[in-house]
Amino acid sequence: MDAILKVDRVSQTYQARNGEVTAIENVSFQVNEGEFISIVGPSGCGKSTLLSIIAGLEQPTHGAVRIEGEPVNGISGQIGYMLQKDNLLDWRTIWRNATLGLEIRGMLDEGSRERTMKLLKTYELYEFRNKYPSQLSGGMRQRAALIRTLAVNPQILLLDEAFSALDYQTRLTVTDDIYRILKREGKTTLMVTHDIPEAISMSDRIIVLSARPSVVKAVHQVAFDQPGLSPLQRRNNPQFSRYFNLIWKELNQ
């Protein structure tokens, strides 16, 4: 498998009022095409910093990020970014929210409209296209936000604690939904979270970061004996707790 994304010895140091803060230090890893990777680490360790560097929103102090061999230099059309808040605009319908990214990039045409329509149909939001975000449940809103992100057809999805604003029950179904969509659309995904079970339930590989200054503490290949389990099925599998205990210890020692 080819690495689509390479993070090469990336460090980020911020100037704070009381001196320098090194958020991440010498972090390297690769993501293969179609892989789902999670990065877990304590709050404030630099997970969001890492994602903004990968998204081209900030420059690292040291190191480089490459997508298909090309250095990331500014915001890339190959990357879709999803945050904790769905950032749907309340005054626009679901359809006009879903097409917002296309509109901003000047990519709204017959083909992209059709693709968005198809995504809404496949993922059961087409009937809600003329509704407003406030008329949808939290889970549906997050799905609408994902469709908006997918509408511009990025190769790589970055998820930053994308489910942490949802209540527990909703989170379980939303992670199942989002996982199914990303796999079906064949997207490469890099997710950061402080929620260990969430990472185990969705990932092919988990990268564990230490507290600040963050370094890569461990990398785990997640392999359940039974392939193709959904996130919910993984949570109910006896092998789940082994991964949980392992990673929990790494984060708490």
Interface with Mg ion (CB under 5 A): 48
Stretch that binds ligand ADP, among 44-52, 85-93, 137-145, 224-232 (CB under 6 A): 44-52
- Continuous H helices in 22-136: 47-54, 94-98, 100-104, 110-122
Q: Measure Cα distances from 24 to 75, 106, 214 in Å.
A: 21, 35, 4
Query: Which member of 13, 26, 30, 48 binds ligand ADP (CB under 6 A)?
Result: 48
For residue 30, give the nearest of 5, 10, 61 by alpha carbon: 5
CB of 133 to ligand ADP, least distance (A): 25
Q: Report whether 49 contacts 12 (CB < 8 A).
A: yes
- Residue of the chain from 6, 8, 13, 21 that contacts ligand ADP (CB under 6 A): 21
CA pair distance 229, 226, nearest whole angstrom: 7
The piece of 3-11, 15-23, 195-203, 218-226 that touches ligand ADP (CB under 6 A) is 15-23
Candidates 16, 17, 91, 134; binder of ligand ADP (CB under 6 A) is 16
- Measure the CA–CA gap between 116 and 5, rounded to whole angstroms: 26
β-pairing, 205-209 vs 188-193, is unpaired
Q: What DSSP designation does 214 have?
A: B
CB of 10 to ligand ADP, least distance (A): 12
Which residue's CB is nearer to ligand ADP, number 41 or number 60?
41
Identify the three-state secondary structure at position 28. Answer: strand
Least distance in angstroms from the C-beta of 77 to Mg ion:
24
49 binds, among Mg ion, ligand ADP, none (CB under 5 to 8 A by kind): ligand ADP
Cβ pair 207, 29 in contact under 8 A: yes
Query: Binding-site residue total for ligand ADP (CB under 6 A)?
Result: 12
d(CA 90, CA 132): 6
Assess contact for 25 and 213: CB atoms under 8 A: yes
Coil, strand or helix: which one is 132?
Answer: coil
Candidate residues 9, 14, 122, 180; the one interacting with ligand ADP per rule CB under 6 A? 14
Comparing CB distances to ligand ADP, the nearer of 22 and 237 is 22
Are 214 and 46 spatial neighbours (Cβ–Cβ below 8 Å)? yes
CB of 46 to ligand ADP, least distance (A): 4
For residue 37, the partner it binds in Mg ion, ligand ADP, none, with Cβ less than 5 to 8 A by kind, is: none
Among 7, 46, 119, 181, which residue interacts with ligand ADP (rule: CB under 6 A)? 46
The span of 13-21, 27-35, 91-99, 168-176 binding ligand ADP (CB under 6 A) equals: 13-21
Binding site for ligand ADP (CB under 6 A): 14, 16, 21, 23, 41, 43-49
